[in-house]
Structure 1
Amino acid sequence: MRVVTSGSAYLDIDAYACCIAYAELLNRQGINARAVSSAPLNFSIPSTVLDWPSTLDSYLPGPGDEFVLVDVCDPHHFDPLVVLEQVVEVIDHHPGFETYWTQILGTAADIRPIGAAATLVFLRWEAAGLLPMISQHSAALLATAILDNTLYFTGQLTTSQDRRAYECLARCVRLAANWPEQYFAECQAAIESDLIAALAADLKRMTVTDQLPHLFAQMTVWDAGALIRRHRPAIARWLAGQGDDWMLNAISIRESKGYWLAEAAASQQKLSHLLSIEWQEGIAVIEPSLQRKDLLKLALSASSFQ
């Protein structure tokens, strides 16, 4: 069995879509595959998406199973069900471990700078000549993951391939023209209904570099400015309870801006070393917005010059 899985901390819409859609493709190609994860879903997968007829498999990997990793390449963050020596393929867009995996897997390691891992899965469907056979739910999942991970095509790593993939998938499934606004607004409503759980579900400990705050929370919503104004005390209180060195990156799709919240001077200084930014009472407004993976790339580049 080929087990398609992702990270350990949480499953976001990109990882969720890739697991399901890539397992479907492998099965179409005659390779027995299951989409499996033991990680909790985060708030980038709202109720409308969960209502689509697509689910992860309730399957426990066996001794002879092989593993495909999607939307993750850091060996410290795999789903605990993964056996490292039995990984046969990696599909990801996060930087930092390209050389590691190329040495192990060669061309079976597909790690490249692109807006969404979902785009890489789309390209596999297309290359296999099986795109006309993709299920409606897999097409909708991949399209939505591309919307989310490219920040509605405003993200720094958005490519022409991301745009083309979304247009093709949206036509396949006939997504409504207002689906982007509906999706991000629904994500925001879910986040605000359970704010602490949302923070916990997308909090990463940055162990790869010391150039970023150690605790890095991120959320993508329709109107991040309004969310910060309504909930800043609760956000800061909870993050401070996790450690002194923290930040929140709240990405505002409506404004194409990012709101960075970091109250410790040391955390602010780390970020100011990477970018020329102005802090006002613990908040910096970034235009255009940046994602965690963008900042990680900057931080790794800065580290290499020290």
Structure 2
Amino acid sequence: MSPIKVITSGSAYLDIDAWACCIAYAELLNLQGIPARAVSNAKPNASVSNTVLGWGAVLNDYRPTSNDEFVLVDVSDYHHFDPMVALDRVVEVIDHHPGFENHWAQTLGSAADIRPIGAAATQVFQRWKTAGLLPRISEQSAALLATAILDNTLNFTGQMTTAADIEAYAELAPHGKLTADWPEQYFLECQAAIESDMSAALAADLKRMKPESRLPEVFAQMTVWDADALIEKHRSEICRWMGGQGDDWLLNVISISQRTSCLLAEHMVSQQKLSRLLPIEWQAGLAILKPSILRKELLKLGLSVNPGG
């Protein structure tokens, strides 16, 4: 019996990009006659909104066996892989986060597709397109991939957005029966979910950064429609919860409607780390960046700084 390809992602949480990629790539491989399952031990975060969950696409209830091979989507840092992954049986990596390109190029060669692009969902869309099977994609997978592109490109305002992301959304949206007002509806829904349980939302997209990143140690991120309203209403709760994770912390609230990043950092040491990477004006622990910036873009900036610089 041929091995099953287990499509999975990171260990901490599944955002909409990881969720969509797992489900849509497993569907494509199965259509091509390659047995595949979308599997994860992680829970979806607020970017997988109630409407998205209501589309009915689900991960497979499957336990990998010792013959199975692993395909990683939307993650390439092997310190953060889902714990079920056997590193020596990883056969493919599809990701857009910087830092591990050389490792996987040496390990997997062309089976490592790690490049700067808005969404890993665009990379999975391109596989559907190349295979000539896009007309057969399910409505759910098309809608998931399209929504993941919206989320990861910040409604096409993010600096990582490419022409390929824009083209992918334009092709996927009709297959997924998404309407013109879907972007606003989606981001408002994500914001409502975040505001209903702020501490859970912070925990669900929090990363502990390594010293070489030159970023605050505890870095949380969320994408909402209106960041100003969220921070005004929940600032004391945010600061209390983030402070409980350590003194050196940063929250990046990406505001889709305003096309800004609202950076919140109470401690001077955290503010100074950011100010060394970007021209930032801090006022009472808050800084506004326009256009908005993603954590992975800040990470790339930090990693590119010379050790002495």
TM-score bracket relative to the smaller structure: over 0.9
Runs of 4+, deviation exceeding 4 Å: 303-306
Question: Corresponding residue for 1:194?
Answer: 197
TM-score (normalised: structure 1): 0.99
Question: Corresponding residue for 1:172?
Answer: 175
Contact 1:119–1:165 (CA under 8 A) maintained in structure 2: yes
| Counterparts of 1:208 and 1:114, CA distance in 2 | 25
Question: Corresponding residue for 1:70?
Answer: 73
Alignment size in residue pairs = 306
1:133-173 CA distance string (max 9 Å, x none): 10000000000000000000000110000000000001222
| Counterparts of 1:210 and 1:157, CA distance in 2 | 19
Contact 2:141–2:176 (CA under 8 A) maintained in structure 1: no
Q: Which sections of structure 2, spanning at least 5 residues, go unmatched?
A: none
1:230-285 CA distance string (max 9 Å, x none): 00000000000000110000000010011000011000000000000100000000
Identity among equivalent pairs (%): 67
Correspondence list, 1:1-306, <5 A: 1-207=4-210, 209-303=212-306, 306=309
Q: 1:217 Cα deviation (Å)? A: 0.2
| Counterparts of 1:293 and 1:304, CA distance in 2 | 19
RMSD after superposition: 0.9
Contact 2:69–2:89 (CA under 8 A) maintained in structure 1: yes
TM-score (normalised: structure 2): 0.98
Q: 1:208 Cα deviation (Å)? A: 6.7
| Counterparts of 2:209 and 2:110, CA distance in 1 | 28
Contact 2:217–2:249 (CA under 8 A) maintained in structure 1: yes
Letter in 1 for 2:62: Y
Does the residue aligned with 1:226 lie in a helix, a strand or coil?
Answer: helix
| Counterparts of 1:205 and 1:107, CA distance in 2 | 30
Q: Which sections of structure 1, spanning at least 5 residues, go unmatched?
A: none
| Counterparts of 1:247 and 1:291, CA distance in 2 | 12
1:193-226 CA distance string (max 9 Å, x none): 0110000000001127341001100000000110
Q: 1:174 Cα deviation (Å)? A: 2.4
Letter in 2 for 1:182: Q
User: CA 1:114 to 1:305, structure 2 compared with 1: closer, same or farther past 3 Å?
Assistant: farther
